[in-house]
Structure 1
Amino acid sequence: MIKVPLCALVVFLTTQVLASPAQTPLRDIVSENETATSAAPRKLHGRFLHITDMHPDPHYSFHASTSKSCHGKKAKKKRKRAGYWGTPDVECDSPLRLIDLTLDYLDKNWADEIDFVVWTGDNARHDEDHHIPRTLDEILDQNKRMAMKMEKIFSKKGIPVVPSLGNNDIWQQNILAPGPNKITNEFASLWSPFIPFPQRQVFQRGAYYSTEVIPGHLAVISLNTLYFYDSNKAVGGCQYGDDDDPGNLEFDWLEVQLKQFRDKNIQVMITGHIPPSLGNYYPECYVRYTEMSLRFQDTILGHLYGHMNLDYFSFMEEIDLEIIPGEEEEGPRAKGGRNGLYETLLREFEQLPEESEEERLDGLAVINVAPSVVPNPFVPAFRIFSYNVSGDGLMGARKQREHGHRRGRKGNKDDVCKDKRYDKSWKCHLQKSWHTDRDAPSRRNQALTPLGYAQYYMPDIATANKTQAPRYELEYVTYPVSALGSGDWEPVPVRHLPRALREGRKGKRYAPYGLRDLTVGSWVGLGRRLGQGAEKRVRRRFREYMGVSG
C-alpha cells in the first residue's frame, strides 16, 4: 500500500504561472516512515503520466499472420506478417516486448520527473482469436504482471499509481455483475499496492475508489465505468428508483466523495476506462455523470479516460440535462469510425459559447480521451500532463468554497416532468445546487490547475526490427512555443524536447494549439477554433492527432 502523508511541504510561491514560466517546484513530501537520512524527500515536479490500453498478448508471434490476431505460424505473404515490436492498422494486440520497452522507457526517462500515474485500464488482450479463447486465469496473470511492473517502476519510488478497471480486464468481456464477486476480490488483491486500505471494502463491492495523490491537496477518483457501460447487460443502467443498481450505488458513493473533498478544499481528478458519452453509457448513467460533473465543477479539475484508442476531447453540457420531447438524444459517438466522430465533434464545437461568456461556461465540463499503447489501429502513445504547483493555495489559508451559487436550470421540467414518460428519468429529479466558481482551479490558472500535456508516440514501430528498437518521440504539445525552454520550471524538461524546439525552429509543427492552460475556458476556445474552421491548419492537426498522426 502506498502511504504518502504530507509531513513537509516547502513552497516557494511565485507571482506568475505558465504564461510567465517562473515556476519553481520546490515542494518536499516525506513519508512518515522516512527520515531525512534514510530517504531523499519526494519533490513535486508538477507533472503526471496518463497511460492506457496496453493490451499485452502473450500469444503474439513475430511474423505470424495479421489476419489471425498475429498468432501462430509464419505467414506466407510478407505484407501480412506481424512486426517484431507490434503491428499498426490490424487487429493485433501488443507483444510483451513492446510493453516492456514502453515501461522501461518510462522508468529511465520519466519516473524521476512525475508526481503520480493515471493508468486507465485494459491490461489483457482482446478476445479476437477463437482458436485461443481468453481465460480468466490468463487475464489475471497479465494484470498481475502489469501491476508488479508498475509497482516496481513507480510505487516503490513513492509515486502513487491510480489504476482503473478496463472492459477487457474481466471475463466475460464487458460483463461485470454487482460486487463483491471474483473479479472485484481478485483486483483488490492485485492492486493492493495502489488502493488505500480504507478504500478496500468499497473496492471489493464495486471496483472503484479514491486516493489522495498529494495528501490534503489533490485526489484522484478511479471509477468503474463498466457499471455505466451499455454493453454490460448484467446491470440495470442507473434507472431512477433502482437503489440497488450498481451504477446508482457508484454515483451515490461518488457524490459523497466529492462532497467530502470539497469540504476539505481538496481538488479532484476523475479517471476511468470508458469515457462518458451517449454512445458509450446507458442514458440515465450519462445523465447522472453529467449532472454531478457540472454540480462539482469547482472541485473537479478534469476527466481522464482511454478505451477509444483515439486522441480527442469532448464536452458534457448543461443541455444534456434538458428534456426535449420527441427528439432523439444524441451525443459524441464513434459510429462510422474516426471520421464519424470527428464530424460529430466539429458540429458540437461550433455551438460552443465564447470564452468570455462565463455563465455559459458554468454549464460545461471537459473530457480528455488519451490514445493507447497498443498499436491497434494506430501507433503507441502516452501523455505527460503538467499542473500548477507554484500558484497560491498549496500552503496556508485556501479559499473556502461557498455553497452552491445557483441551481441547475429547470427549463420546462415542471411541465414536462408531469408526463409519465419522463417522470422516471433522472433529469426530472436532479435539482441540487451547483457549485460553480469562476475563480476555481478548473476555471482560472492557479495552484493545481492543469496546464497542458505533451504527447509521445512511436512513429517507427512498423519499420523497427530485432536490432533496431523503435523510439518514442514527441508528437505534439498543447502549450504555446513560448512556454517551452524559457524558465526555471519547464512543463516539458528540455531534454525531452526535439532539437527543433530546443533551438527554437519549426515550433508550430509541435505546438499548433498554443493553449495557455487546460481550464474550461481554454478548451472552449480551442473547440470554437476547430468548430468554426477558420484555422484550417489547426483542424488538420486535430484530425491527424485523433489517429495519432496516422
Structure 2
Amino acid sequence: MDKRCSSSVNLTPSGDLQALDSGELYLMMLQSSSSNLFFLFVLLAQSYSTPVQKVLEIHTKPRQLQGRFLQITDLHPDTFYLPGTSTSKACHRKIPKDKKKRAGYYGTPYSECDSPLTLTNYTLDFLEEHWADDIDFVICDNARHENDRKIPRTTNEIYESNVSLARRMNKIFTSRGIPVIPSLGNNDVYPHNILAPGPNSITNEFSKIWQSFIPFPYHRIFKRGAYFAVEVVPNALAVISLNTLYFYDANDAVSGCDYTGSDDPGNLQFAWLEEQLKSYRKRGMQVWVTGHVPPSNYFPECYVQYAELALRFQDTIVGHLYGHRNADHFFFIEAKNLEIGNNFTGASEHNDLFDSLLDDFAQIPKSKQTDFHEYAVINVSPPVVPNPYLPTFRIFTYNITGVEDALADGSSIRQMNTIDTQTEELPSQYRRRPRDKSSQCEGGVHSNSWKCQLLFDPPENADGPSHTSRSWTPLGYAQYFIPHLKDADKSHHPPRYRLEYTTLPASALLPGKGQNKTEFRYPIPLRNLPKSVRKGKMKKKYFPYGMQDLTIGSWLELARRLGNTKEKELRKKFRQYMYLGGTE
C-alpha cells in the first residue's frame, strides 16, 4: 500500500488545506465533538483551539443584503494528487514520458483526476478575496471520487476532508455572517452511492462536522436523514438542503420510495419536505431547493413525488439547484410525466445528454399553448473538479428591490403580491382539483404506485417569484471558470477564474443613459467583470442567452430556441458551455 494512504486533509494556521498524518486530525475531531457539554463549554468559554471550535463559531452581526449567492459544487479535493504523475493513474503515481499525459500543478482538465489541494485552496482563496463580501449565502458540496483501486477511499479520509472544508468555509463565510448550506453527496459516503436509512454513523458524524451550518432545531432530523433547512433571510427566504442519496437510483440500500414502504427513508424525507413547504407557504416565504444528485437520476417513484411537490408549490419554490452531473445544463419537470403511461426519460446518465435535452426542448409547445404551471426547471451546475472538464462556480443574483428598508428598520419581511397566506386554507383558485384516474389505477401494475395515490394538478394561479419578476425572483447567474488550467503553474502562469458567460442581458450589467450610477444596483460587481465589459464593449461570448430573468417562462423560451434546429449558433454555444470545450 502506498505510504501516502496514511495522509489526510487539514488546514494550516493560514487556513489552507494540506496533507497531515491520518489519525491526528480525526482523533482531534472526535475528541472535540465528544459531548454536548464540551460544545457548551467551547461556546461559553471560547478557550479551546481544536478544529471543531472553528466550525462552531457563532456570528450574529447583521449584514447588508447583497442580492447574490454562490453555488459551488463537486470540489472533490484529492490529497494524493501529485503534479507530473500519470493522468492514467488518477494523477497519483508514475511519470509518463509524454508531457501531455502528466498531471498539471493546479489540476488536469478533461481527465479522470480529481482536484489537487492547490486548486481547492486557490478556489477558496479567490472566493474569499473577490466574492465573500458580495454574497448572502453559499450552496456547496465536497469529497473525492473512488477512481484509484490502489488508493481506495476510507471513511476517515472522507470525514477529515469534510472537516477541513467546513473549517475553511467557516473562516471565509460564516465568520462574516454568511450562511453555508452543504448537501450530502454520493462521494461523501463509503462505499460511494450507498447510504442506509438513518440514524447511522454517517448521519451522526456529519451532524457534528456541519454543526455550525445546521440550525439547532434541525439537528435531530438531520441525524435521521441528513436533510435540513436554513432561513438565509429570516422570515423571507430559505434554502432546503435535501439528502438526495435516498432518492438516487444507484443507492442499493433503500427501496426507492416504494409506495408500500412506510419506513423508506425517501418517503420519510418527502413527507418532511411537504411539511416544510406548507409551513413556508403559510408564512409567505420563498424557498430554494438544493441537493447533490438531480431528479433526472432518481428512482421512478421518488421522481414522481419530487415532481408533484415541485409543481404544487410553484408559489413557494423559487428554484431548484443541483450538481453531480458535472455538465452545465438545465431540464424541466413536466406535469405530463406524472400521468399513467407517460414517464420521465430525459437527461439520463446512459444517454447522450446534449442530444436528449434538445429532443426534449423540441417537444415544448409554442408560448401561447404553454401553461407555466405545468413546468418546473431544474438547474445543474458544473463542478470545481476538472474531471472531466474545467473548474467553475456560479454567482446567482436575485431581486431584493423593496426589501432593504424592511431589513434596515428590522420590520418583518413578507413576500409581496403572493397568495393570502394568513388563512389556514388556501384560496379556492389554489386548491388542486382531483383528476379521475380510477379506471387506470384499479388493480393493475399502477395501483400501488405514487402516480395513483397523488393528485397532480398544480395551483391554478401560482403567481409567485418563479413566474413573474418581483422580490426574490432569480434574475440570472454569472459562471466563472479557469480557461487554461493545464498551463497554470506555481510561478510564471498562476491560474485565474474568469467570466465564462452570464445569463443576464448585456444591458443589465451597467447603468443606461439617464440612470444614476450611485443608485444603480450592479448584478455583478464591476471589479468582477472583464475590462472590456466595464468599458462598455459587450462581447457576444459573454451574453449567449440574454435572459431577462430566471423565471419559468424565460427558461421555456430559451428551451424553445434550443429546440429549434435553425438556431445552430445558439446550440453550438449551449454545447460549448455544457462541456466547457470538451466532449461528453
Query: Scaled by the length of structure 2, what TM-score is found?
Result: 0.83
Query: What is residue 93 of structure 1 aligned with on the other side?
Result: 114
Question: Aligned equivalents of 2:365 and 2:145: distance in 1?
Answer: 40
1:387 is displaced (CA, Å) by 0.3
1:466 is displaced (CA, Å) by 1.8
> Root-mean-square deviation (CA), in Å?
2.0
- 8 Å Cα contact 2:337/2:343 also seen in 1: no
Question: Aligned equivalents of 1:538 and 1:100: distance in 2?
Answer: 35
1:246-277 CA-to-partner distances (Å, cap 9, x unmatched) read 00000000000000000000100000000001
**What code does the residue aligned with 2:340 have?**
I
1:438 is displaced (CA, Å) by 4.6
Question: Aligned equivalents of 2:126 and 2:488: distance in 1?
Answer: 16
Question: Aligned equivalents of 1:165 and 1:355: distance in 2?
Answer: 38
Query: What is residue 138 of structure 2 aligned with on the other side?
Result: 117
Question: Aligned equivalents of 1:452 and 1:140: distance in 2?
Answer: 34
Matched pairs, number? 506
Matched, 1:273 2:292: yes
Question: Aligned equivalents of 1:150 and 1:392: distance in 2?
Answer: 27
Question: Aligned equivalents of 2:347 and 2:553: distance in 1?
Answer: 20
1:95-125 CA-to-partner distances (Å, cap 9, x unmatched) read 0010000000000000000000011x2x221
Matched, 1:387 2:408: no
- 8 Å Cα contact 1:383/1:453 also seen in 2: yes
2:498 is aligned, of 473, 480, 483, to 473
Q: Which has the higher helix share?
A: 2
Matched, 1:203 2:222: yes
**1:48-447 matched pairs, under 5 angstroms:** 48-119=69-140, 121=141, 123-277=142-296, 280-324=297-341, 330-336=345-351, 340-357=352-369, 360-391=371-402, 395=413, 398=416, 399=418, 400-401=420-421, 402-403=426-427, 405=429, 413-431=437-455, 434-447=458-471
1:485 is aligned, of 483, 506, 510, to 510
Distance 1:366 1:328, change over 3 A: closer
Question: Aligned equivalents of 1:391 and 1:539: distance in 2?
Answer: 37
Indicate the larger mover: 540-549 or 290-299.
540-549
1:289-316 CA-to-partner distances (Å, cap 9, x unmatched) read 0001001011000000000011000000
1:439 is displaced (CA, Å) by 2.7
Equivalent position SS for 1:84: coil
Query: What is residue 10 of structure 2 aligned with on the other side?
Result: none
Equivalent position SS for 1:99: helix
**What code does the residue aligned with 2:212 have?**
P
- 8 Å Cα contact 1:371/1:548 also seen in 2: no
- 8 Å Cα contact 1:188/1:200 also seen in 2: yes
1:414 is displaced (CA, Å) by 2.0
Question: Aligned equivalents of 2:281 and 2:344: distance in 1?
Answer: 32
- Point out where structure 2 has 5 or more consecutive residues left out of the alignment: 1-38, 40-57, 407-412, 512-516
1:353 is displaced (CA, Å) by 3.1
1:535 is displaced (CA, Å) by 2.6
Question: Aligned equivalents of 1:322 and 1:397: distance in 2?
Answer: 32
1:357 is displaced (CA, Å) by 4.5
Query: Scaled by the length of structure 1, what TM-score is found?
Result: 0.88
Question: Aligned equivalents of 2:447 and 2:128: distance in 1?
Answer: 53
Distance 1:403 1:273, change over 3 A: farther
1:459 is aligned, of 460, 483, 497, to 483
- 8 Å Cα contact 1:237/1:282 also seen in 2: yes
Query: What is residue 12 of structure 1 aligned with on the other side?
Result: none
Distance 1:268 1:436, change over 3 A: farther
